[in-house]
Amino acid sequence: MNTRYGTSVKILRGTKLFLDWKCAISPRLFLKRQSPGSFGTQECALGSKGSIRRVSCLFRVVESERMSSPIPIVRKGLTLPPFSPTSLTAALSLSSFKERPFTPSPLPSPMPSPPSSPPPLSSPSGLLQATKDALARAVSKRGSKNSVLAIDEDMRDMCYFYTQLGTDERSEFLIYMATSLSIDHKAVQDVINNRPDCIPGNADVDAHIMRWEDRLRQTLQPPHHWVASQVSRLSGGVKFLVDMRQDLLSTLYTMTSDPTSSALLKTLDGTLRELLSLWFTVGLLNVQRITWESSCSMLQKVSEYEAVHPVRNWADLKRRVGPYRRCFIFTHSCMPDEPLVVLHIFLTDEICKSMKKILQNSKTPSFDETGMTKNEEDSSLVNTAIFYSITSTQKGLQGIELGNYLIKRVVRELQAEFPHMMQFSSLSPIPGFVKWLNGMMARAQRGDLHIFTKTEVNALLIHLEVNSESEVYDRLKKLFTTNGWIDESDLVSSLESPLMRLCAYYLYSEKRRGYALDSVANFHLKNGAVMWRINWMADRSPRGLSNSCGIMVNYRYFLEDCENNSRNYLETLKVLSSDEIATLAKTAADIMKLSAETSPISPASTSSPPPIITITPDSKM
């Protein structure tokens, strides 16, 4: 009996069978009966007259003809091409199959692949030990006369076993790897003690010193650097290292009790980050535009990775890659099917103040498989590009800057397509504002500072039907948690002025190590953008209300000034903003009445507000 993994099966109302395009079948198919709405994995018998082959099928029973989300199929850590509407070539009736041989097309070689003779593993600890043993075998062959293929085989075994580990076992293995393959400090000291004397002008001595420096450099390089380099040579090895670094960062985040292990893990993280930074330089990345004609697997990943404004359904996804929209991604040759960064753009004739216009625009495509052409757009209506979502998809590439390069590349693409395009701006979320605001209200309750004027406090006492300022803060905290305030129009109006003022202060004045505390603000300011306009009720989604009370901000990109703005921000830590934002931030600071003895607003804040550098919002329209 041969087993073939990778067939996708979908049952519609119990009458139709949809098969993935990669497979061909014989006449008989047997499935366990499933109720509508259920899904699972079922081994199916395909064949006839004694020639039966079995296929492990992932299937879902649905109640309507509309396709649900694509279903990825995973076996031993390998994600095979998912089932989706665009990958189908036939809808076959269960009652009438034509005889044809079972000849599935070949799938890419998985990485990591299972070892040729895996050891019996009866427990997670046995699997963890097998992973350690495979790593030890590979390291023991370093510098020996063993063939490269032998080392690669051990590395493949190590990678395969690692993908089978649970979260706790992975953390334990990473600690083992960081500890056992750390720098040999005694060897380093021995090399230092054998440093040759320096005699200027003596060529032989100079050559001897250079050889000594080379030995010292090799000794200072931890063995796990060699391991990572060897893994990168395997098929799928770079992706494995990216995922491993994601596990490593998670382990570091949760580790607090062992400073020694934490320091060793940080060294391992530094090694992986250094190598990944070299492999993922902008010159090795490819810009790709995503359209409705792109592969279903890529469309699925774009929708799943969207972190700023989640994709609701296939129609929503089609709208986001349709007319007056652009979606670009960065890919890498070692991970061609993985979008590294996803950038969504809205093409319009003005700088948007709200997500409503972007996500619910009247130019909405129908839900069908008809391709969308450029002729559906009127280019004369387009002079502005709004970057409304940018997402880094790979947590293992954290700290490796890719998004700013994608924006710069995309701007060139858009200018080539629309030569008259003059305005470039983001419509960005403010993910940490409500968390910061809750901390400010707690301080105000203690009497450390004021965040509302007396007039605003009196108005809130009436709207919230409470008797004291302290109760106002308690009530607001609950309302911001549940988003219950959004349906009370009078309360929304009363909160607009103070929240806009406080948001301006948060964006403009709050700092972390001298840079903007808000991560999105810091990203755009480093790219050379201008903090241009704050927008009230720009994102009324549950996420937008929970993170920033619905407030969003436009960061303008004046192309001729971006380089100077970026350099100015990085070197002098000065925030470039519009007059409106700077004035609001200054007003908030005056109301707070911070004295010299008062502690900073937040642990990450600077002790004094940054210098005000402003630009009039309409001066460069």
Tokens linked to 477: 């905290």
Taking each helix axis from N to C end, the angle separating 237-254 and 167-180, rounded to the nearest 10 degrees, works out to 100
Residue 428 a catalytic site member? yes
SS3 state of residue 76: coil
d(CA 418, CA 380): 9
d(CA 129, CA 365): 54
Contact status, residue 566 vs residue 522, Cβ threshold 8 Å = no
SS3 state of residue 326: strand
The active-site residue out of 225, 524, 548, 577 is: 524
Count other Cβ atoms within 10 Å, centred on residue 154.
Answer: 21
d(CA 171, CA 256): 13
Q: What are phi and psi of 577, to 5 degrees?
A: -140, 175
Contact status, residue 284 vs residue 333, Cβ threshold 8 Å = yes
d(CA 451, CA 587): 10
Tokens linked to 524: 């755009």
SS3 state of residue 577: strand
Contact status, residue 212 vs residue 196, Cβ threshold 8 Å = yes
Who contacts 342 (Cβ-Cβ below 8 Å, separation ≥6)?
Answer: 290, 302, 305, 306, 327, 328, 329, 389, 390, 391, 393
Which secondary-structure segment (H or E) carries 531?
strand 530-535
Residue 497 a catalytic site member? no
Contact status, residue 581 vs residue 531, Cβ threshold 8 Å = yes
Helix, strand and coil content of the chain, in percent to the nearest 5, comes to 45, 20, 35
d(CA 577, CA 557): 12
CA atoms within 13 A on the CB side of 79: 14
Contact status, residue 523 vs residue 389, Cβ threshold 8 Å = no
Count other Cβ atoms within 10 Å, centred on residue 337.
Answer: 13
Who contacts 25 (Cβ-Cβ below 8 Å, separation ≥6)?
Answer: 19, 46, 92, 97, 100, 102
Produce one character per residue of 475-500: b if its CB has 16 or more CB atoms within 10 Å, e if not: bbeebbeebebbeeeebbebbebbbb
Quote the distance between the C-alpha of residue 16 and its chain's center.
37
The active-site residue out of 26, 389, 428, 578 is: 428
Tokens linked to 65: 């003809």
Who contacts 46 (Cβ-Cβ below 8 Å, separation ≥6)?
Answer: 25, 26, 28, 29, 52, 53, 54, 55, 102
Residue whose structure tokens are 């901000």: 553
Distances (CA, A) of 141 to 132, 133, 222: 15, 13, 16
Catalytic positions: 428, 524
